[in-house]
Structure 1
Amino acid sequence: MSNHTIVIPAADLEAATAFYRTAWGAEPHTETPYYVGFNLDGQEIGLNPNGERDQMTGPVVYWATDDLAAKVAEVEAAGGTVVRPVTEVGGGTSLALLTDPAGNQVGFITQG
């Protein structure tokens, strides 16, 4: 796994998938109703149809960590605010979404 994943909110997953297939000239490696994933030269970029529900305000970089709860606590102590607490999203993957002091979103992910 790369050390980060970029996730783009995409309410209309079908339209977004078609757009990014063309824009990036690539086929997704994963295509499910809850996530479409592309690997572009080793960079994971995913489309999330539930981005609005997940309170994403735009594309988010999810940084990989081995201890998600500890990382969230560290980031909160550094002035971050939890937007979406640690959530198991399937396949042994969990993530959390926070904002920095200026309101920019940053995510953290772990895969079990």
Structure 2
Amino acid sequence: MDKNLVSWFEIPVIDMNRAKQFYDAVFEINIAIHDLEGLQMGWFPMNPEKSGASGSLVKHKEYIPSETHGPVLYFSCLDVVNELSRVEAAGGSILKPKTGIGGGYGFMALVKDTEGNRIALHSNQ
């Protein structure tokens, strides 16, 4: 395999503007919202010159947020404490604080976003 297996992800949302504000604030980014014939998407910034997957927030009747079901997406961070410090002010909650993974794999934290999704943060620091 000549590239990483994961190339795209989609996070279900109920309120696109609220979700955009949360992710913009926590990760200090600007998500671009697009309406694609009834499927509303909020695209995460992407640089095709860099490695890693990109993705989108998605509002559609078939996309249902969950804190306990489905995959957990890990967002890469320099140090998870930076993003954790912005989660609650952005309307989310911390499910698991910064925790060592062990085996030299760094640290992680679990967060619930404003839509009820469980996401994770990962860093080597």
| Structure (1/2) with the larger strand percentage | 1
Normalising by the residue count of structure 2, what TM-score does the alignment of the two structures yield? 0.44
